[in-house]
């Protein structure tokens, strides 16, 4: 589950580093022809840096993303739903493994990525800093947050970096179960008792703003997008993905007789959705650590890290030579 | 020192301190990588599907089953240490691979060998 590579793009000192113009031209022509880049191919420094940042954030989002949903594992309504939720949470952690591998092929060791997650140096999708207050919140996450993630991931699976594409193809296949599972949970509540409907509506109201934030700031606020699109690192603009999400899911929300907490929301004559811009200052504030659950998410991650240390050390072979995975 | 109180009872029970120290992972604390090959059904090929981090082959196999056998049918899995695989260095040997399917080696292709024209001409000459 992941929104977009919108977080913490601070160009390094070498952003103005001059690439060999001939190699750069060959590289760009290759991408233009629709060919993929493999780990050992030549690539510009900036391409590598942006991909590491993006894939790493995606991987972190998968492991942290398992936490809000995991909240309801012990109290899932019924054994079948409990098994399904456990399976979904396990999938998310599996997705993190696939993505860390893809990022490692670009030269950043997994140890460093996990250290950067705990220290706060690298970020994860903002939406997971919000709490899942009720079972209905877990339904909204599995339905709509996974829906948003699929839109982003399907777009990125057509990108230029082969290991990331391969990981995403597999991830998208697995996510389709999550989406259907979440939709069924939401429909069950929506077609249930008055109390259940109310619970679902309240959860939807809570998740709407984080969901609008999910795809990242409006295109007019985003930087560097042009080059990343040319290199097929970024495959769709934030606003385009947001529009696609609204087109696909607002009708499904309305069909259930639920409302979206935005009075301005409507599709205009040109077929574009109009909506109230969510508070982007809140978005920045939460990314920078001041959200309702940031502290808890990192503390839980650190607990697993610290309390698992003795197992790692017992198994460690000091002689082991660490290399990047093949692909 | 206060502890995290969570909506998730498992987290509250874990008594996690709110402010924490963290010891960064050292250089190879997450072990080596093993590459994973997966066969989905008998008769099929083993296909490379990705890699896992593990301290030894047995654990690599265990993680590979969990990671790559969890959601699809599986009849067999192989794991091999990444450093034991000898590979092409694409940048060094481009020509070798570029010429293999090219026109000057068409004598290796089945469709480079044509007979119909000859047979037709022969039959015509023989008046059969």
Write down the pLDDT at residue A318.
81
Domain count, chain B: 1
Suggest the residue from B31, B48, B80, B81 to mutate for an interface test with chain A (most A CBs closer than 10 A).
Answer: B31
Q: What is the pLDDT of chain B when averaged over all its residues?
A: 90
Say if A187 falls within a structural domain: yes
**Is B36 a member of any domain?**
yes
Beta-carbon neighbour count of residue B99 at 10 Å?
Answer: 11
Report yes or no on B9 lying in a domain. Answer: no
Angle (CA) A26 A39 A116, round 5°: 120
Residue among A90, A91, A325 minimizing CB distance to B35:
A325
- Check residue B3 and report its DSSP letter: B
3-state secondary structure of A70: helix
Residue B94 — very low, low, confident or very high, per pLDDT cuts 50/70/90?
Answer: low
Region B62-83 average pLDDT: 95
Chain B residue with minimum CA distance to A76: B8
Residue A36 and residue A161 in contact, taking contact as beta carbons nearer than 8 Å: yes
**Residue A72 confidence (pLDDT) above 60:** yes
Mean pLDDT of A101-125: 96
pLDDT reported for residue A5: 56
**pLDDT score, position A181:** 96
Q: Would residue B79 count as lying in a domain?
A: yes
Which of B18, B20, B30 faces A110 most closely, judged by CB atoms? Answer: B30
Do A315 and B50 lie within an 8 Å CB cutoff? no
Give dist(CA A258, CA B3) in Å, integer: 38
CB nearest A326 (choices: B4, B16, B87): B87
Q: What is the 3-state secondary structure (H, E, C) of A18-55?
A: CCCHHHHHHHHHHHHCCCCECCCCCCCHHHHHHHHHHH
Residue A14 is predicted with a pLDDT of: 56
Count Cβ–Cβ pairs < 8 Å, chain A vs chain B: 130
To the nearest whole Å, the CA of A302 is away from the closest chain B CA by: 7
pLDDT, tens digit, 9 for 90 and up, residues A303-321: 999 999 999 999 988 888 8
Check pLDDT > 80 for residue A143.
yes
B22, part of any domain: no
Beta partners for B33?
B53
Q: Work out the average pLDDT over A120-126.
A: 94
Rounded to 5 degrees, what are φ and ψ at A9?
Answer: -90, 90
CATH of the domain at A286: 1.20.1260.10
- Determine, yes or no, domain membership for A234: yes
* pLDDT band at A261; cut points 50, 70, 90: very high
Confidence of residue A140 (pLDDT cuts 50, 70, 90): very high
A41: which chain B residues are within 8 Å (Cβ-Cβ)?
90-91
The 3 state secondary structure assigned to A133-169 is CCHHHHHHHHHHHHHHHHHHHHHHCCCCEHHHHHHHH
pLDDT at position B109 is 85
Residue A2 lies in a domain: no
Number of H helices and number of E strands within chain B?
A: 4, 3
Query: Which uninterrupted H or E stretch holds B38?
Result: strand B32-39
CATH number for the domain that contains residue B96: 3.10.20.520
Nearest to A244 by CA among A272, A282, A286: A272
Q: Which long-range contacts (CB under 8 A, 24 or more apart) does A222-226 make?
A: A222/A6, A223/A9, A224/A9, A224/A11, A224/A50
For residue A128, give its domain range.
29-305
Q: Is residue B78 part of a domain?
A: yes
Query: Residue A125: inside a domain, yes or no?
Result: yes
The reported pLDDT for the residue numbered B91 is 60
Residue B20 confidence (pLDDT) above 80: yes
User: What ipTM was reported for this prediction?
Assistant: 0.90
From the CA of B95, how many Å to the nearest CA of chain A? 15
A300 vs B16, B28, B82: nearest CB? B16
Q: How far apart are CA A264 and CA A89, in angstroms?
A: 35
Which ranges of chain B does DSSP label H, i.e. alpha helix? Answer: 9-13, 57-68, 94-99, 116-126
The domain of B31 spans 27-126
Q: B63 lies in a domain?
A: yes
CA distances from B30 to A57, A70, B13, B24 (A): 19, 25, 27, 12
Residues A307 and A24: their CA atoms lie apart, in Å, by: 46
Q: How many domains does chain A have?
A: 1
Higher pLDDT, A226 or B55: B55
**pLDDT value at residue B106:** 84
């Amino acid at each position: 589950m992941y929104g977009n590579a919108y977080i913490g793009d601070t160009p390094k000192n070498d952003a103005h580093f001059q690439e060999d113009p001939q190699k750069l031209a060959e590289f760009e022509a290759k991408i233009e022809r629709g060919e993929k880049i493999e780990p050992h191919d030549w690539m510009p420094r900036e391409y590598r840096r942006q991909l590491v940042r993006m894939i790493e954030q995606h991987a972190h989002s998968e492991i942290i993303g398992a936490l809000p949903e995991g909240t309801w594992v012990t109290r899932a309504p019924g054994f079948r739903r409990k098994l399904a939720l456990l399976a979904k949470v396990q999938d998310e952690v599996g997705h993190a493994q696939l993505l860390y591998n893809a990022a490692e092929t670009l030269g950043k060791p997994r140890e460093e990525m996990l250290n950067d997650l705990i220290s706060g140096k690298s970020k994860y999708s903002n939406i997971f800093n919000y709490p899942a207050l009720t079972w209905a919140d877990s339904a909204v996450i599995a339905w709509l947050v996974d829906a948003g993630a699929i839109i982003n991931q399907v777009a990125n699976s057509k990108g230029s970096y082969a290991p990331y594409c391969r990981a995403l193809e597999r991830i998208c296949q697995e996510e389709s179960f999550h989406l259907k599972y979440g939709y069924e949970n939401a429909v069950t509540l929506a077609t249930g008792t008055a109390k259940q409907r109310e619970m679902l509506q309240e959860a939807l109201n809570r998740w709407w703003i984080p969901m609008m934030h999910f795809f990242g700031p409006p295109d007019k606020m985003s930087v560097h997008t042009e080059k990343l699109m040319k290199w097929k690192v970024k495959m769709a603009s934030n606003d385009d993905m947001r529009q696609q999400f609204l087109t696909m899911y607002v009708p499904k929300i309305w069909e259930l007789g639920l409302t979206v907490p935005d009075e301005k929301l409507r599709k205009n004559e040109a077929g574009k959705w109009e909506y109230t811009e969510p508070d982007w200052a809140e978005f920045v504030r939460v990314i920078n650590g001041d959200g309702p659950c940031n502290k808890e998410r990192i503390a839980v991650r650190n607990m697993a890290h610290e309390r698992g240390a003795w197992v790692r050390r017992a198994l460690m072979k000091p002689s082991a030579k660490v290399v990047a995975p093949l692909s | 020192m206060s502890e995290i109180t969570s909506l998730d009872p498992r987290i509250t029970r874990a008594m996690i301190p709110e402010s924490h120290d963290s010891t960064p992972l050292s250089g190879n604390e997450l072990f080596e990588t093993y590459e994973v090959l997966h066969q989905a059904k008998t008769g099929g090929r083993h296909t490379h599907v990705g890699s896992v981090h593990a301290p030894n082959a047995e654990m690599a196999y265990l993680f590979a089953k969990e990671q790559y056998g969890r959601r699809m049918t599986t009849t067999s899995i192989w794991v091999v240490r990444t450093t034991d695989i000898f590979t092409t260095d694409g940048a060094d040997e481009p020509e070798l691979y570029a010429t293999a399917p090219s026109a000057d080696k068409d004598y290796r292709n089945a469709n480079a060998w044509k007979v119909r024209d000859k047979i037709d001409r022969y039959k015509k000459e023989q008046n059969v």
